[in-house]
Chain A
Amino acid sequence: MYPTKYLKAASIDEAVKALGASDEAKVLAGGQTLLPTMKQHLAAPSDLVDIRAIDGMVGVSVDGNTLTIGAATTHAEVASSADVQKHSPALACLAAGIGDPAVRNAGTIGGSVANNDPAADYPAALLALGATVVTSKREIAADDFFDGLFATVLDEDEIITAVKFPKVEAAGYSKFPQPASLYALVGVFVAKTADGVRVTVTGAGEDGVFRSEALEAALAADFSEASAKGADVPAEGLMSDIHGAAGYRANLIRVMAARAVTSAA
């Protein structure tokens, strides 16, 4: 790795100040993407601002119908949290399937969301469940947060502190992992919310996570496995790479959607 400077921030103020002091500083929240990227010399941040020791960054709480997960809460902590399992079982199931056990012990929800990898799992959950991203500056609806491949609307010196999830009627997640990377080749999150059915897709879109109009219409009419399988999911706008062509991914989206509906609770 190229040389860098490490700071274990004790407060959000200290972390924000450190990020603002350099153009090349990055937040370290779990490091399961950032450190491998640095090892490959694809990133060379001048400073790493570790936010995991900041008070209140780790933990899960429920207030009424709102589930709040601290940004530095690991995937393993989310997966095993009784509060998450009760409030949003699909979210616990999603967290339990990210990467492998060692990655889940280190990777965090805030890191995953801020990185917005087009094949990451969490963005699909946030967008389908209508979550709210809480930052050091403001609250941002998931609908407005994701901004294309590896991009979000976060400012350079803005830090995610938590993610808030409303309770929904039912939700399910199913992914087909790429077997080497364990990222989603296609992952589909379905949610029956107060505002209707929302269906999101990760791993497949050329611009990252997106809502599938075709599946939302099909499942709004009939929330069933057969309805998901029969939906007319277009291949336009989907990725084609060595792992699968756009048409293959379009079919996988239907299959994963059907499985997500079956698992929905």
Chain B
Amino acid sequence: MTKVKMTVNGKAVSREVSDETLLSEFLRENLRLTGTHIGCDTSQCGACVVHVNGKAVKSCTTLAAATDGADVTTIEGLANGGLHPMQEAFNEHHGLQCGFCTPGMIMTGVDMVNRYKAEGRELTQEAIRHELEGNICRCTGYHNIVKAVEDAASKM
């Protein structure tokens, strides 16, 4: 067992967990932040994407113990008063149907927009599709997700 301390959505948290606890399990089971989803067991679907120290990672492929001291943002921490522009854009453009992949899509979307803006690169539709390679959606066919990310990028 290891005592893990981190900041999640701006709040300091601390829990005693077994060493093999994944960050996704830590968030869902220890902190009851169930917005982070587990869609596969093979680290491929991206439903579990959260931000660790400002970077998008798969929380199902990260040990909670290795995240000790980190600053973590989950889908629950994105809205600040009103919805985040990425969340509004998914709503506006019907970027979801069942909604299972949506938390991961939105966290990945926010990460790519931040990264492209920081690097001064243009986030084209083609780039968005390429950047979404690690996020699987079985409902939408991706078109409306791409539209939502593109729209949010213009508002962020």
Interface residues of A (CB under 8 A from B): 1-6, 8, 28, 31-32, 35-36, 38-40, 48, 50, 52, 76, 80, 99-103, 105-106, 180-182
- Residues in A with CB closer than 8 Å to B96 are none
Interface-facing stretch out of B63-71, B75-83, B137-145, B146-154: B63-71
- Residues in B with CB closer than 8 Å to A80 are 119
Residue on A nearest B118 in the bound complex, by CB: A80
- Residues in A with CB closer than 8 Å to B56 are 101-102, 105
Interface residues of B (CB under 8 A from A): 2, 18-20, 22, 41-44, 46, 49, 55-58, 60-63, 65-66, 68, 108, 111-112, 119, 131, 133-135
Residue on A nearest B41 in the bound complex, by CB: A39
A6-B19, A101-B108, A102-B108 are known contacts. Are A182 and B66 too (CB-CB below 8 A)? no
- Residues in A with CB closer than 8 Å to B19 are 3-6, 48
A4-B20, A28-B66, A35-B63 are known contacts. Are A99 and B134 too (CB-CB below 8 A)? yes
How far, in angstroms, from A50 to B82 measured CA to CA in the complex? 39
How far, in angstroms, from A76 to B54 measured CA to CA in the complex? 13
- Residues in A with CB closer than 8 Å to B65 are 6, 8
| Option from B41, B57, B66, B119 in Cβ contact (under 8 Å) with A102 | B57
B133 touches A32 (CB 8 A): no
Distance from B31 Cβ to chain A, minimum over Cβ atoms (Å): 19
- Residues in A with CB closer than 8 Å to B135 are 100
- Residues in B with CB closer than 8 Å to A6 are 2, 19-20, 63, 65-66
- Residues in B with CB closer than 8 Å to A102 are 46, 49, 56-58, 108, 134
